[in-house]
Amino acid sequence: MTERDDELFGFEKLEAWQLAAEFAHAVYALTKGFPREEMFGLTSQLRRASVSVGANIAEGTSRTSGKDQARFYEIAYGSLNEIVTMLRIAQRESFVSQRQVETLRADAAKLCRMLSGLRRSATDR
């Protein structure tokens, strides 16, 4: 990031949020190659779900109760599971390669582990 640390929102300092932002960028880049007829199908769904991950991390950090924070991290986790499912469908439809899916699945798995840690941390408070 180019901003100074003191100019960042708290959630922007989280490694999980940073990875989620990069993940969304990768999903957007990937879906640019999808067929035009998927614009309102898989393309839209994948993009919205990928944005949801970072947005829910950000919203979770703004909550004062651990239970509320954990709920937003769970929603982000669910969005990642949706993405993995849609990537499988996209692969079967030959919109993406196995290698592309494997790369995004690895990033999704890393994000899921981070979100699990954030959720545990929030509920332990």
- How does DSSP assign 77-116, residue by residue? HHHHHHHHHHHHHHHHTTSS-HHHHHHHHHHHHHHHHHHH
Domain assignment of residue 29, yes or no: yes
Residue 2 lies in a domain: no
- 25 within some domain: yes
Q: In sequence order, which residues have a C-beta less than 8 Å from that of residue 54 and are 6 or more positions away? A: 17, 20, 21, 23, 24, 76
For residue 116, tell me if it sits in a domain: yes
34-79: pLDDT as tens digits = 999 999 999 999 999 999 999 999 999 999 999 999 999 999 999 9
Q: Quote the CA–CA distance of 44 and 18 in Å, as a whole number.
A: 22
Residues of the domain holding 115 = 11-124
- Global pTM reads 0.91
Instruction: Say if 32 falls within a structural domain.
Output: yes
pLDDT at 8: 83
Instruction: State how many domains the chain has.
Output: 1
Q: Which domain CATH number covers 83?
A: 1.20.1440.60
Q: How far apart are CA 56 and CA 123, in angstroms?
A: 16
pLDDT reading at 88 higher than 90: yes
Residue 73 phi/psi, 5-degree rounding, is -65, -35
Is 55 among the domain residues? yes
Give domain status of residue 6, yes or no: no
